[in-house]
Structure formats: C-alpha cells, structure tokens
Amino acid sequence: MINRTIFFTGGVGIADTTTIAGPKEGEGPLAKYFDTILEDDLLGQKSYEKAETKIHIAAIRHMLNKTSMTAKDIDCVFAGDLLDEMIVSSLALREFNIPFIGLYNACASFAEALIVGSSMISGGLMDRVICSTSSHFSTAERQYRFPLELGSQRTPLSQWTVTGAGCTMLEKYQKHKVKITCATLGKVVDYGVKDANDMGAAMLPAAMDTIKTHFRDTQRKPSYYDMIATGDLGDAGGRLLRKLIKEEGIDIDSQHQDCGELIFNREWQDVGQGGSGTACSNIVFNSYIYQQMLEGKIKKLLLVPTGALVSKTASLQGETIPGIAHAICMERV
Amino acid sequence: MKNKEYLKTVKSEMPPSRHVKTMVRAFIVGGLICCIGQGISDLLKLAFPAMDKQVNQQFTVLIIIAVTGILTGFGVYDNIGKFGGAGSIIPITGFANSVVAPAIEFKREGYIFGLCANMFTIAGPVIVFGVVSSIIVGLIYLIIGGV
C-alpha cells in the first residue's frame, strides 16, 4: 500500500457482469446495454422493498446462470444497498447458500464491494466472488424523503435514485479481458453541506480528494486514463468537480464523465441533476462501461463511485452530510 | 479550500431554483383550486338555496378534501403538486394530500403501526400548530373580551 492506494499484485480479473434496470432507466440512453429492463418496478409485489429484493436476487441468479456456476463455486458475495439495516441484501442472500458480507457506503457501496472482493482474491484468500448492489427509486424516496404520492416539488439540484441491481464476478486473474489493478481508498470528507437535496455538492469534496490522492500515490497523470467515471455527482456536481480540480492543477476535462449523467437523458426524463443511488455507478459500469472496455474503446478506466453518507436522523439533528469516494483502476488486457 | 469558501462556491456555481416560473405556476394552480372551491360552493347554493352559509362552507371543504383524497389515491395529485408547488400545498387540498399520501404508503406495514401511526407524519406539525395557536388566540380573546 502506498499512502492510500492498494495494488492488486496477485491479479484480479472480471469474469462477467449482469445488470437489471428499472423502466425509467430502460428509457434512457443506456437501454441497449442492460441485460434486463423491467416493465413494472413493483414486479407484482406488495411493496417496493420486496420488489427491490427480487431485483437483487434476480441479478445474482442471472450471474450464476450466465456463467453456468452454482452457489458452491462462489466463495463470497459482497453486497450492499441503501435500505434500513441493509435489509435488501440480507433478504436477497437468504436465497443463496453463499457466504455473505454486507457493505455500506451509501452510493459508493459498489466500490467498496469491488475493493474488498479484489483484495480477497489478490491476497489469495478467495478464488471467485460476486460484488452486487441494488437501489430502488421508490424505496429510497420513502426512506430519505417523502411518500411517493405527496404533491411536493423536487428542487433543481435533486437527483433521481436509480432502480436496478447489478453484479460483477471477480476471479483470480487468468485470461480475463479486464483486470482490476489498483484502488485508492476514500476518506470521509465533510465540507459542511447540509442540503440533503444537493448530494452532488456533499460528495464532490470526497471525490476530489480521492482523485487527487490517486494521482499522487500512483504518479500518474489524468491522460493515463481513457475515462474517469465518478458515481453520481450529477450534471452540475460533475461540472464543478472539473472546475475545482483544474484549479488544483489536475485537468480531467477530457476524461471525466459522471455515471449519474450517463444513465438518464436529463432533457426529457425530469431527473434533476441525473441518477444516484447504490445501483447507479454499478449498472452504468456493469453494462455500458464494461462493454466499452471489452470492445477496446476504453482501455484504462478509473471508476470513482461517490457516496453521500446521509441519515435522516442525523440531518434532523443538525449534522452536515459526510461524503466518501473510492477509486478503482481497471485495465483492458 | 476551506469549508466556507467551498459552500460559497457551491452556492454560486450550482443552478438556483427558478423563482419566477415556480411562482407563476403556484399562482395559477392555487388560484384554480380556489376557483373550483368557489364553484362548488356556488353550485351548492343553487341546489340548496335554504342551506345555511356555514353549512355550505363545510360541505364545500368536505367535497374538496374527498376529491383530493381520491386524486391522491389514483396518483394524480402528486403530478399537480409537481407542477404547482406551493399553489397546491397551501390550500386545504395540500393538507388532505399530506394525510392521504403517507396513509397509502405506510399501509404496507399494517393498519395500526403502519397506516395509523404514520398518517400524520407530515400533517402532524400543522395540526399541533393549529391547536396551539387556537389555544393562544382563545386565551387572548378571553382576556381582552373580558375587559
């Protein structure tokens, strides 16, 4: 480990990815990259929480089917979500006879899963793991904001929680096309943003800190990467990140894209600044970005999922919103 | 960069709310809801000319609340709210919506600890303020009225 960056010298390869996207995500610009697009985000269930659990189960099951594996072949599932005590992942993993480690870093949970999974494989402790996360617009709205049918207005800075789930299967590196080479661990950074509707601004300092640290630790320049993808800063947050980081001498203008911006068409989908949620960076990476890497259009990727570690109780008690971001470097072999 | 400096940058760089647009929309929607209320009241007067003025008002309010409840149930009112903002929150329809919306949402947790317990999560503060201020006004009236 150099400062905050760990190098997976043991070799970690991505075996496969799966994604399930909600109906609104299915109308967005990345529709053709998703494995499955839901027609009904309630899935005939009694509650949206049950629906999200179903989606999470389906993503893992789809992964097992796609790779012709059984539960026995998987050493561990690293999973997370936004709800209560990580209840969706726990209920989903009830269906599988696989060891489970639950992870929470809000919308950066997917990065956490990839880092922990890669560490286990690189260190030789495990051979094959699944990293999965899920989120659902309707369950997140209810937990963090208001009931769905309440006639309230969304602020222009609000973001739309992505409905969906995705899985990445990691293996000991053999002849995989994409490998995970290193990761820079994020710190909790809080610059005092209190507006729970402006999560882009709350997460931005964390993203900036992690990206800067990554370049310092690895001695790389932004031009080393074909794409630097932040998780869910949104349109305005992404723009501000590029501006502020440029002031510090790091120009990522030509590499930077934000997953929250990529997943929706902001012009007509009425999503505020773009997508957010635990599934956001997950399904954008596991569908569109991974496909681009397989095709060789993106050879080196720095994925920086961002998380606003917001809690309704803490916010009501006057706490500001802590942010976190982890960076993971992936390379096309 | 310091925290204060950052918050200042965020304030100046992030897109602000569109005040004029939201105010115009609120004016139109709020005005429309009030016109509909007046219309119902006038129709009641036409249908039942002998009806007392106060009874007429109460019936009008009851009808508006019932209609809002039904519209909320069918998932229409949240769209009106999204468009109209404060225009749909301030009239009594907004209050009705704020009671029915959580009731629908929390029904999934059961009738007692779900629906009943959470029905007033949003409207609760309004009721508390209403009751408290009526007590204060009542006391003032008692003191001044007695003089």
Q: Are strands A306-308 and A323-325 parallel, antiparallel or unpaired?
A: antiparallel
pLDDT digits (tens, 9 = 90+) for A52-105: 999 999 999 999 999 999 999 999 999 999 999 999 999 999 999 999 999 999
Q: Indicate the helix (H) or strand (E) that contains B144.
A: helix B124-146
Residue contact B84–A192, C-beta within 8 A:
no
The Cα of A84 is separated from the nearest Cα of chain B by a number of Å equal to 14
Confidence check: pLDDT of B1 > 80: no
- Residue A261 phi/psi, 5-degree rounding, is -80, -35
Contact in structure between A165 and A57 (CB atoms under 8 Å): no
Q: Helices (DSSP H) in chain A: which residue ranges?
A: 23-26, 48-66, 87-93, 109-122, 137-144, 199-218, 234-247, 259-263, 278-284, 290-294, 312-316
pLDDT digits (tens, 9 = 90+) for A108-121: 999 999 999 999 99
User: What band does B2 get if pLDDT is binned at 50, 70 and 90?
Assistant: confident
- Residue B79 phi/psi, 5-degree rounding, is -70, -40
Alpha carbon distance B57, B92 (integer Å): 13
Residues of B in contact with A240 (CB under 8 A): 9-10, 13-14
Contact in structure between A61 and A93 (CB atoms under 8 Å): no
For B6, which residue in chain A has the nearest alpha carbon?
A191
Report which residue type is found at A243.
Answer: K
Domain map of chain A by residue range?
5-172, 181-332
A92 token code pair = 């989903």
Report which residue type is found at A16.
Answer: D
- Please state the ipTM of this predicted complex: 0.85
Residue contact B105–A198, C-beta within 8 A:
no
Q: Is A297 helix (H, G, I), strand (E, B) or coil?
A: coil
Residues of B in contact with A236 (CB under 8 A): 13-15
Q: Does the domain spanning A5-172 belong to CATH 3.40.50.720?
A: no
CATH assignment, A181-332: 3.40.47.40
- The mean pLDDT value of chain B amounts to 91
pLDDT number for residue B12: 87
Residue length of chain B: 147
User: A28-37, B60-69, B90-99: lowest mean pLDDT where?
Assistant: B90-99
Confidence check: pLDDT of B64 > 90: yes
Of the partner residues A146, A192, A240, the one whose CB lies closest to the CB of residue B7:
A192
